[in-house]
Structure formats: structure tokens, C-alpha cells
Chains A and B, each alone.
Chain A
């Protein structure tokens, strides 16, 4: 009798270890392959897009869904890899403190009482990520929000002391290995076997998002002369980019394998596609009053200047200001590419006062070719000193920062194309993978976007799924799309078999009504 119980006990024990096993389990590591690539030590270099920045902020769940983190989890299925580390911030509020003072704002969340009225707003929380609270690395994700190409080579870019003076970057200061190190040096010190590099976006983007306030530093190779919103010279960019890649992938460098990711067109991001150029509603009376106000300018001053040979007929036409009883009047703006006529107007025969002449000096009305930055949405239509006669965008023209004009766009597009040309030839020279993020985001920007397993992903603001609430950076789903594209490129370039990314299982925007 006793014996039978013993056998039962043995049988029962056998059961506990009797877990179902698949014929070809992916945990055994035989399903996927790293091909000719070696992912054992992966380091990602780049800017905010690499860091997982989203919703105008860096926060933990954003970092967890960064494309390098997604990639690293896939790499780990193909071979033995080192744990991928990220310089995680302290909370999901976002924002930064320096010496206890807030220097970066909390994240945007989608707030509102209904879907129709929901708008992005800053989350009402207190940042707790202190920049001077140094993290000890090394970190596989070396993405530094705000970094331009040449910043990756700049000593002292991670100096805590330099943050206050603007000489250093607070995000890099959190985890730089020393006050004097560079981003690239900290990456190379890890001796990566595989890298991704997505840098150069900010070299054109900060000019664009500032409405073209900066200048194109053509042929200027001394980066210390660059302002924060300037465009990096295309040749200087190519030189810097080549220097980065040669140290990572070159024969005299680490000889690592990797993937380069090129620069999307800034006009493909919702930041420039949300605020219409004609958002001004006017009733008949107001439109009439405004037209009367600009009547002499349209019918006498402009033709007079053409007659005097000071303006071409075409420019004069482009400078006419007309309003109508409509909800879709175009904004007025100061366009620094127009001939400045403020001096002429103060002289006979016009003899206008200095203020009026100044107003009309480079005035025109926006056209469908102009773009308004998302950040100007809250400014247009406000009044100056509560004076109902002084309405920004109507009677008071918008300044440069509120409009990315067609000529500014053309400059950005031209430089972006030059950057991408450089990136493509460098990728070829070093036999690296190249991900065309430029066409990828252009496709997503097209009508209806792209389907991923039945889930549409488009660049429509808030609802499209690809872009976060700052209109510039991606959502987890957007980063998953990038990661998936990088996987495809790796598989093609290195004959690898890295599993794809389940785009639809990554989230989009975060909803919350606790806002500032």
C-alpha cells in the first residue's frame, strides 16, 4: 500500500516539470540569426529621437519605447548580447531640474472633455529628474535630446557646470562620464560591435521650428560661431558625420557594423501642418474696416512703388492685404525676404510716419505655401496690450518666428537633401546599412498613412498615431515603425534574421486631464 502512494508521489513530481515545449522555441535561440552582424554590444548614437523623447519631454515610458531599446530586445533573440542600458530619468512627469530649479517642462498630455475639444497641455506635475544627479554608465542608448551633429564631438558637452551657461547639454550632463568627455568618446569607450546613428535632424530642424529665426551658416566651419537656431553648413555636416562614422566603423576606428538613419523633411512633421495659414475669422464689419485701413496701401502705395521701380509687379501683388467676411482669412506677417520699404515710405510722396512705415516695411499676407509652427497656435489672434485694434496676425503682423516662409522651407529642404546625400555616400563608403527615414515619414505623411497589421499609422496630429503631442517627436508606435524599418535594413544588409516589430501593440498619445 505504502509503495503505491510512493509511485503516485513520483508521478505527481514528474508532472510539475511537465511543461509544454514547442518544437522550435524562440527562447532556445535557434529561430533567428544575427547573420554577418554582431549585436553583442550595441550602442545607439543620436539626438532626442534616439533618446525616446516624446511629448516635449523625456520620461521613463518614452525611454522604454525608444527605438534602440526595441531593437536591443530583438537583437537579444538572435544571439548572446549584453544588457542594453539607458540613462532613465526619474519619473513619468518629464522635465528637468538643475540645482532644484526647473529647466525643462513636464510632458504634454492630451486633455479635454471630448475628443473634438481635446488639446495637448503640459502635465501638472513636478519634475524630479535632477541633472546634477549623475548616473554611472556606460549606457547603450547615447541619444542626447537637442544634440546637433557637431555636438557629438564637442568636449564639455556633458559638463554639469556648463549647463547653466548654455555651453553644455543637460541631458548629456546627467550621464557623461566626465566634465570634458564627448558623446562619441563615451560611445567608443564601450567598444560597440554594432551601432546606429541618427544625427543631423537638429542641424536643420531648430532653424525650422524657430520659424527660420536663425541663418544658414554657409561655408562657416567654426561651430562656436553658430547660434542655436542656425543651419549647419552642409559641407561641415558631411565632414563631422564622416568623422563620427570613421571612428565607429572605419578600419582605423572600431570597425563596428551599423546602420545610419537619414534626415526626414521637416515639412513632413505635424508641427508645421496643424495650424492653418488662414485661421482668422472676421465678420463683415471688421473685414470692411480692415480693408479700408489697407485701402490706400493696396491701391496707391504699392502701385506707386512699382512705378518708381522699387518693386516688381509680382512683389507688389504679393504684398497686397485683403480681408473678407470669412472664417478663413490669411494671417499677416513680416517677411524679411521682402524689399524693406519702410525708409521709402517715410519720404515724399508717401511721407508716412515712422510707425506706419515700419508696419508696412516688409508686410504681406500669408499664402498656402507658408507654414505656421504649432507653437504659434496660441499666439495668433491674441491682442497686444488688450487693445482690440491690435490683433496679432491681423492688424499686427506676425514676426519671423511665427511663419516658416516658402523660401525658408526651400532652404531647409535643400540643406536636408545635401545632408542626406552625404549620409548615403558615407553609408556606402563604410558598407553600412542606410535607413531612409526621409521617405518613410513622407509615406506616413501621405493620405491615410501606412497600414501595419491593419493599424493605420499616419502623421495626422494627435490622431495619426505616429507623432507625439509636441508635433515633432514620435510616439512609441512611431518609434516602433522606425525600429521595424531598421530591422528590415539590418536583415537586408547583414543577411540577418531579426524578428520584426509589432507596431500595433505600441501606444500613441497619453490622455490625462491633470494639466497646467
Chain B
């Protein structure tokens, strides 16, 4: 374990990218408490997300897990050259999950899952120095998935199923750094789209070469959410044909990238379980956020992002204290897909070190309460977004950023 941990530190030190994006890894309190590992852990219905292949390995006939987290996440920014600073006052995010599986036979289980793996909620002070990039953004995607899990042999299973996504976005920014109406109110635009649906799938496999060791792999497909005819609402537009920004509709695309996870878990004895997961998130698909406004005179908005694929290294351990209590702890290193020079304040995330913990309390034989917490530690970083343009000129927006996140979570596991 110690060696594994050192390896993790080494990997962390050599990582050169910046981290985060709008992936929210909170898909199960038990998994999260162990560093959000789980692709090779047979624990409860959270497998519906982590690796549906494992559902058939669950001992009970009916398994369910529901939970919700409260994301307290904030960012502070300052620019020393000009003496500017700003702090987000982001609303508390509440990602949730609900998983259910039913064992039809010894070899076959089916399931249903709903979870929110992508989302973002950032609210800067209105008209802050970076308001030409973002005032506030609220991004949510609910995944609903039907699942099947099939045991090929006693120690090998596969699983997966189709995903339906319902996404929504609400994004406000000022049109540029200076445009105002006569009263000095900044001209801004809100784009809003909800109920945008899309489809995808996930599939996994789990293999248990010996009783104490599980190895898992899981892949969730890329899903491109296409907002069509969303509402674009322009506010405080100067009264002039020179600034013709009528309220209109817009089309835009946002990719929810594919994710590949491989991992292993090892049951040392009755008390101790170790888990390791490696995630590769295929962020490379997020090249640009382009908003195509329907009104012919309204210039479209092109915002290069140029994300790159990124990795997350997760470590978890579980200690079964007695029949009632199970304690968990974990760590993961989250590498940012955001490249230097593309650090936009709508998802201002650099690499993070994440510490997790939690416990389960078995209230009855079939009901347990799952509690977890996550603390994300970000290093302070000097970064810029260099691709905002005014009059054909790139106008960088730069400064020193620091983020923090603290996420307590609560869930219930049921097995009958």
C-alpha cells in the first residue's frame, strides 16, 4: 500500500497538465469515501455506475443505493498588475444518484441508474473583471441508464446498457469588456437551454482471478449534448442599430467526454480492502465552445477550449470495524484537461489533490446509511485565457487563481 501511495505521489509530481473540467466525480458515497474507486469493488448498487458488470456479483436479490452530495466550491482570483480581485459566490451544487438492481438468476441481473456525472455551477460577482468571459454558469446533465449484468463464468462478468441524458445550461456573460447602455449598465447575454436530450452507453467487465482480488474495466461513451433553439436573452443593449442584439435563439454543442476506468481491489482479510482505479477522460473532444445565434445580424461566439485527455489516479481503503460500522478513506489525484493559456474562469480548475473519507452504518441487515466527505485541494496558479478577441485582437485575461471544494454526502444502501 505504501509503495502504491508513493507511486501515486510520483505520478502526481510528473503531471504537467491542469485539471478538472466539468466532470463531477460524486457517483456513490461508498466509492467516494474510498477516493471514488469502485470499478473493481463489489460493495453495493453503486456498481451500476462504477462497473455494471459487477451487479451480478452482489449477493442479495434486490440492491438499491441513493444519495446526494452538497458541493461547496469556490474560486478566488486576483490580478496583481491592476489590483483587481474577485471571488465566486457559487450556489451549493447537489449532484445525486439512484441505483437499483435485481437479480433475475445466478447469472443475470438487471438494473436502473440515474446519476449526474457532469455539471458546473460557478457564479462570479456581476460585472467582475472577467465578466466578458463569464458572469455565471449553471450546467447540469442527468444520466438515466438501463443495465444488464451477465456472469460468463463464476469469476468473470460483463455488463452495460444504454444511457439517456437530459441536459441543461444557463450561461451569462457580458458581451465585451466595455459596452454599456446609456446608464452604464453592462450589455450581457444569457443563453438558456433545458431538456436537451442525448444518448450514449456504458459497458464493463469484472474478473476475479482469485477470491481476494477483483480486476475491473469500464467504459462510458462520449455524449455530445446539442442544444437547439435555446433562448438567448440580450440585456442592456444600447438603443441603436449599431448594436442590434435582438433576443433570439441559439444552437450550441457541449461534449460530455468518454471515460475509461481500469482498476483492482484486494481483500486483505475480513477487515481490510484496498482499491485502485485509473480514469482516463477523453476531454480532447472539447475543442471549442461555439454559440450560433439565430438572428442573422448577431455575431456568433467562438471560444476555443482545446482541452486534452486527462487522467485521474484513485486510491481507497475500507476497514470493516464490526457488524455495524465500516470506515473508509481515500485519495485521488485529478489532472486538469485545461491547457495553459486556455484557463477560462467558467471552469477554473487546475490539478487537484483530493482527500476522502466516510463510513457506513448498518441500521438493519438490509438498510445502511452511507456518509462521505471530499476535500479538494488546489494549488494556487498563475494562468490566463488568451483567446478572447476584441476587434480582431487577442486580449488575454490573466491572474492568480485558487479553488477549493468541500463536499459532504449522504446516502442509503438497501439490500434485500
Q: Mark A91-135, 1 if CB is under 8 A from B, else 0.
A: 010000000000000000111111100100001000000000000
Distance between Cα atoms of A112 and B242 in the complex (Å)? 8
Q: Does B280 contact A (CB under 8 A)?
A: no
Interface contact B406-A18, CB-CB below 8 Å: yes
Distance between Cα atoms of A453 and B79 in the complex (Å)? 14
Given contacts A77-B83, A454-B393, A502-B82, contact A61 B239 (CB under 8 A): no
Q: Does A512 contact B (CB under 8 A)?
A: yes
Given contacts A61-B183, A504-B395, A511-B238, contact A22 B408 (CB under 8 A): no
Interface contact A499-B395, CB-CB below 8 Å: no
Distance between Cα atoms of A23 and B84 in the complex (Å)? 15
- Which listed residue (A19, A77, A92, A112) contacts B87, Cβ 8 A? A19
Q: Mark B385-406, 1 if CB is under 8 A from A, else 0.
A: 0000010011110001011101
Interface contact B78-A25, CB-CB below 8 Å: yes
Interface contact B180-A19, CB-CB below 8 Å: no
Q: Does A74 contact B (CB under 8 A)?
A: yes
Q: Does B201 contact A (CB under 8 A)?
A: no
Interface contact B129-A505, CB-CB below 8 Å: yes
Question: What residues of chain B lie closer than 8 Å to A111, measured between beta carbons?
Answer: 240
Nearest residue (CB) in A for B377 is A20
Distance between Cα atoms of A508 and B361 in the complex (Å)? 63
Interface contact A499-B184, CB-CB below 8 Å: no
Distance between Cα atoms of A22 and B84 in the complex (Å)? 13
Q: Which of B216-251 contact A (CB under 8 A)?
A: 238-243
Nearest residue (CB) in B for A64 is B184
Interface contact B400-A22, CB-CB below 8 Å: yes
Interface contact B180-A61, CB-CB below 8 Å: yes
Question: What residues of chain B lie closer than 8 Å to A407, measured between beta carbons?
Answer: none
Q: Which of B169-195 contact A (CB under 8 A)?
A: 177-184
- Which listed residue (B184, B404, B408) contacts A20, Cβ 8 A? B404
Q: Does B266 contact A (CB under 8 A)?
A: no
Chain B nearest CB from A214 CB (Å) reads 35
Question: What residues of chain B lie closer than 8 Å to A21, measured between beta carbons?
Answer: 76, 402
- Which listed residue (A19, A31, A455) contacts B393, Cβ 8 A? A455
Q: Does B112 contact A (CB under 8 A)?
A: no
- Which listed residue (B76, B178, B361, B380) contacts A507, Cβ 8 A? B178
Interface contact B179-A507, CB-CB below 8 Å: yes
- Which listed residue (A4, A60, A500, A510) contacts B81, Cβ 8 A? A500
Question: What residues of chain A lie closer than 8 Å to B80, measured between beta carbons?
Answer: 26, 31, 499
Q: Mark B357-380, 1 if CB is under 8 A from A, else 0.
A: 001010000000001010000101
Distance between Cα atoms of A110 and B238 in the complex (Å)? 10
Chain B nearest CB from A380 CB (Å) reads 26
Q: Does A337 contact B (CB under 8 A)?
A: no
Q: Which of B345-364 contact A (CB under 8 A)?
A: 359, 361
Q: Does B12 contact A (CB under 8 A)?
A: no
Q: Does B62 contact A (CB under 8 A)?
A: no
Q: Does B56 contact A (CB under 8 A)?
A: no
Chain B nearest CB from A393 CB (Å) reads 30
Q: Does A11 contact B (CB under 8 A)?
A: yes
Q: Which of A432-454 contact B (CB under 8 A)?
A: 453-454
Q: Does B72 contact A (CB under 8 A)?
A: yes
Interface contact B371-A4, CB-CB below 8 Å: yes
Q: Does B196 contact A (CB under 8 A)?
A: no
| Number of chain B residues whose Cβ lies closer than 8 Å to a Cβ of chain A | 47
- Which listed residue (A14, A22, A112) contacts B380, Cβ 8 A? A22
Question: What residues of chain A lie closer than 8 Å to B84, measured between beta carbons?
Answer: 502
Nearest residue (CB) in B for A125 is B182
Q: Does A12 contact B (CB under 8 A)?
A: yes
Question: What residues of chain A lie closer than 8 Å to B75, measured between beta carbons?
Answer: 20
Nearest residue (CB) in A for B373 is A11
Q: Does A314 contact B (CB under 8 A)?
A: no
Interface contact B239-A514, CB-CB below 8 Å: yes
Distance between Cα atoms of A23 and B402 in the complex (Å)? 9
Interface contact A513-B241, CB-CB below 8 Å: yes
Interface contact A510-B177, CB-CB below 8 Å: no
- Which listed residue (B242, B396, B402) contacts A118, Cβ 8 A? B242
Q: Does B252 contact A (CB under 8 A)?
A: no
Chain A nearest CB from B323 CB (Å) reads 14
Interface contact B72-A20, CB-CB below 8 Å: no
Q: Mark B50-80, 1 if CB is under 8 A from A, else 0.
A: 0000000000000000000010101110111
Interface contact A11-B402, CB-CB below 8 Å: no
Distance between Cα atoms of A11 and B70 in the complex (Å)? 12
Interface contact B361-A92, CB-CB below 8 Å: no
Q: Does A372 contact B (CB under 8 A)?
A: no
Q: Does A189 contact B (CB under 8 A)?
A: no
Distance between Cα atoms of A31 and B403 in the complex (Å)? 20
Chain B nearest CB from A477 CB (Å) reads 8
Chain A nearest CB from B321 CB (Å) reads 13
User: Can you list 23 residue pairs at the A/B interface with Cβ under 8 Å?
Assistant: A1-B361, A8-B371, A12-B408, A15-B406, A16-B72, A20-B76, A20-B378, A25-B76, A26-B78, A26-B83, A31-B80, A61-B183, A453-B395, A455-B390, A455-B395, A477-B178, A501-B82, A502-B81, A504-B395, A506-B178, A507-B180, A510-B182, A511-B243
Instruction: Add 14 more A-B contacts to A61-B183, A64-B184, A512-B238 (CB < 8 A).
Output: A11-B373, A14-B406, A18-B406, A21-B76, A31-B83, A73-B83, A77-B83, A455-B390, A499-B81, A501-B82, A511-B242, A512-B181, A512-B239, A513-B239
B-to-A contact residues, CB < 8 Å:
70, 72, 74-76, 78-85, 87, 129, 177-184, 238-243, 359, 361, 371, 373, 378, 380, 390, 393-396, 400, 402-404, 406, 408, 410
Q: Enumerate the 8 nearest inter-chain pairs by beta-carbon distance, A residue then B residue, closest first.
A: A499-B83, A61-B184, A507-B178, A15-B406, A20-B404, A511-B238, A502-B82, A20-B402
